[in-house]
Amino acid sequence: MNNSIIITAAVTGSNPTKKMNPAVPYTPGEIADAAVESHHAGAAIAHIHVRDPDTGKPAFKEELFKEVLDRIRDRCDMIVNLTTSGLNLTGPDAIAQRLEPVFLKPDMCSLDLGSMNFHDRVFSNPPQWSVRAAACMADNRVKPEIEVFEPGHIRQAIDLLRRGLIGGTPYFQLCMGIPWGIEASVESLLFMKNQLPADCRWSVLGVGRAQLPMITMGILLGGNIRVGFEDNLYLRKGVPAKSNAEMVGMAADLATRLGREVASVEQARKILEIPEVS
């Protein structure tokens, strides 16, 4: 087991609003600030969605992603992971649009494999999407973060790995408790982890009140962990988190108390085989 633990901060996502927690970042400046502050609190990776700066509604605009990426890179060398989930995109151009963040050549992009019901919508990831997205990430030397919400997604990832569509050591994000993927329970997490290919790297996230139990399991099982407003708005029951950084600080403290060493960006880049930003 690698004793270093990589913490990802998922600072805004698509769903939380300032009404739910005033610290949810909307503008590229706020999103980049949240990422950099999280880095100072122990996060080596920032997972980025963008919002309409005026309304806070989920957006998927290349210029917004670029501004966030540039603002983070101006200030630190943390690993930037841009989403390609494009959950709100529809129509014939959706696949091409979802790939736009890859061409900005961030360090990493999320790669979703399976279609599923996601809260009140369909999250559509046809097989053609995952093949094209994996190839596009390989062409642009962007590390895929393989997001899996249920065991079938892991089977599909293993198929892509066998076909040589994902190179290097694969990196999985086990997304636990999202309606209507797998539930966030101890048994489910162990089951998911046991389906992963040997020699991969993995991280876990839990939604809402499942965040703390799931990251604790991740720490104990030798995995990596993700926290942040995308997944949860509360530090503990009834106590809203003041910032993403506060949540990262809590996670870093927990990991340290349980005997893990929080990975620096340099260590995280080595573990995930991601080159330094040139």
Residues that bind Zn ion (CB under 5 A): 83
For residues 272 and 269, what is the distance between their CA atoms, to the nearest angstrom?
5
DSSP for 77-143? -PEEEE----TT--STTHHHHHTHHHHT--SEEEEE---EEETTEEE---HHHHHHHHHHHHHTT-E
The nearer residue to Zn ion, 66 or 226, going by C-beta atoms, is 226
Q: Do residues 224 and 6 touch, judged by C-beta distance below 8 A?
A: yes
Q: Which amino acid is at 48?
A: I
- Residue number, 38 or 83, with CB nearest to Zn ion: 83
Least distance in Å: CB of 80 to Zn ion? Answer: 13
Q: Are 7 and 255 in contact (CB under 8 A)?
A: yes
From the CB of 173, what's the least distance to Zn ion, in Å? 9
For residue 43, the one-letter residue type is: A
- Of 43, 39, 103, 94, which is closest to residue 71 (Cα–Cα)? 39
Min CB(261)–Zn ion separation in Å = 26
Q: Using CB positions, name the residue nearest to Zn ion.
A: 83
CB-based burial label for 195 (10 Å; 0-12, 13-18, 19+): middle
Toward Zn ion, which CB reaches closer, 83 or 130?
A: 83
Q: Using an 8 Å Cβ cutoff, are 84 and 99 in contact?
A: yes
- We find the least distance from the C-beta atom of residue 48 to Zn ion, in angstroms, to be 8
Closer of 39 and 226 to Zn ion (Cβ): 226
In the complex, least distance from residue 231 CB atom to Zn ion, rounded to whole angstroms: 9
The C-alpha angle with vertex 103 and arms to 47 and 27, in degrees rounded to 5, equals 45
CB nearer to Zn ion: give 15 or 156: 15
Q: CB of 164: closest distance to Zn ion in angstroms? A: 26
* Pick 48 or 160: Cβ nearer Zn ion: 48
83 vs 232 by CB, closer to Zn ion? 83
Taking the complex as a whole, how short is the minimal distance between the CB of residue 237 and Zn ion, in angstroms?
A: 24
Rg (Cα) of the chain, in Å, rounded? 17
User: What gap in Å lies between CA 122 and CA 129, rounded to an integer?
Assistant: 15
Q: Is 152 exposed, middle or buried (0-12, 13-18, 19+ CB in 10 A)?
A: middle
